[in-house]
Structure 1
C-alpha cells in the first residue's frame, strides 16, 4: 500500500478521533453544547473541531490572554473552549448575527459556568465591532464569520487588538479552492479570503502566515497574524 496515496475526509476524521482519544478527555458540557445546537437547527458541523477548540484553548493559556473578541459565535462551542482558558478576571466578547444562535450560545455558556465571563452581543458583527471602544485593547481576536466580510472584520480587528496581540482568521483554504485561480465562478468564501490576502500583502502593521490543516472538518486552514 502506498503510504502517500490520496486520502479523504474519512481518513482525516479517523485520524482526529485517534489522536483525540489520547489528548482530549470526554467532556459532557461540550457534548451538551453540540447537542443543544443540533436540537435548535444550528449547523454545528461548521464549528471548529474538538482538536481546533483545544488548540485555541492552549493558545489562550500559553499567551496569557485576558481579553478575547470572537467574531461569529454559532452555538458557542469555540467560545467555551477559549473562555475556559481565561483567568478569573478575563473576558470574552462574542458577536453573533442570528438570534437563535445567540440564544443557544448563551444557554451553553451558562451551563459551562462561563456566563459571567463571556458576553454574547447580538447583531451584525461589523456594526458591533465599530461600536466597540474598549478601555483596554483585546489580546486575541478570533474571526470565524461570513467570509465576504473578511477584510472589514480584519481592519476593525487591527484597530481593536493590542500591539503584539494576535488575530486568527478561520477557513482560509476552502479545500484548496482559494488558490484555484482557474475556477470560473469562485465562491464568496474564496473571494473573501483572496481579498484579505491581497490586503495583508501590503500591510506593514502585521506579520502573518496561513497554516493549512486537515481533520474531521476536511481540508482547510487558518490565518495567524501578530499586530506590530
Structure 2
C-alpha cells in the first residue's frame, strides 16, 4: 500500500479547509468509537469537497450509493436547497440506523431519503426522469462498473459522477486483490468512456470526477 499524500501535508490540507459543523464532527467521532469499519467513512476534506461540488453545481437532486454512517450524505445535504433531495442507498440496517439518528438531529436531514436494500436493484428500479445532478459512488468496489452504467442514464447532461477510492491505496498500479482489480478496471472504463469528461484527484484514497457530456 502507498501513502497517497504525505501525512504532514495531509494534516496541513485538513487544517486549511473549511471545518464541518459540530454535528459532523460528532458523527465522525461516534463512527470511530463504535464502528469496526470506520476506515470506510469519508474524510473531513472529502466531505467538504462533496459539499462544495453540490453547491457549485447548484444541485437539487443527488444520489449516493453507499450510505455507511451518513457523513457524506449529510455533508452534501447541507449544500442542497430547502426543497432539494438526496437519495442514499445501503443494505446494512445497522449503519443506516446510525445514519438516520444523525440525520434526524440535523436541520438538513429532511432532505435525505434512505433506500435500504441492494443498491443496484434500487438503481434499476429508478426512472430516468427526473434526472440527478450528482451521483456519489462509494460502495462495494466490484460493482462500481454496474453502478456507473446504471447511474449515467439517470444523470442530467452536465451532471457529475463522483467515485471514491479510485486509487485504492496505490494498489491500482499493480492490482493483487479482487477490489484492487475491480477499481483498476473501473478506472479504465471511465477513462475510455466518450460519454464523459473525467479527472482523477489524489484526494484521500483517490476521487474521480466524471462529467456527462
- TM-score after normalising by structure 2: 0.90
> Which ranges in structure 1 are unaligned for 5 or more consecutive residues?
1-6, 215-219
Q: Which residue of 1 aligns with 2:212?
A: 227
Give the superposed CA RMSD.
Answer: 2.1
- Cα distance in 1 between the residues matched to 2:118 and 2:173: 29
Question: Within 5 A, what are the aligned runs for 1:39-118?
Answer: 40-41=34-35, 43-118=37-112
Q: Is the 8 A contact 1:36 1:104 kept in 2?
A: no
Q: Which residue of 1 aligns with 2:184?
A: 194
- TM-score after normalising by structure 1: 0.84
Deviation at 1:224, TM superposition (A): 0.8
Paired residues in the alignment total 212
Q: Does 1:27 align with 2:12?
A: no
Q: Is the 8 A contact 1:126 1:152 kept in 2?
A: yes
Deviation at 1:49, TM superposition (A): 0.7
Q: Secondary structure of the residue that 2:59 maps to in structure 1?
A: coil
- Cα distance in 1 between the residues matched to 2:163 and 2:48: 16
| Higher gyration radius (CA) | 1
Shift of the 88–174 alpha-carbon distance from structure 1 to 2, 3 Å rule, reads: same
Deviation at 1:25, TM superposition (A): 3.2
- Cα distance in 2 between the residues matched to 1:10 and 1:68: 29
Q: Which residue of 2 aligns with 1:126?
A: 120
Shift of the 9–198 alpha-carbon distance from structure 1 to 2, 3 Å rule, reads: closer
Shift of the 38–65 alpha-carbon distance from structure 1 to 2, 3 Å rule, reads: same
Q: Which of the residues 159, 178, 187 maps onto 1:165? A: 159
Q: Secondary structure of the residue that 2:107 maps to in structure 1?
A: coil
Q: Does 1:209 align with 2:199?
A: yes
Q: Which residue of 2 aligns with 1:143?
A: 137
Deviation at 1:42, TM superposition (A): 5.2
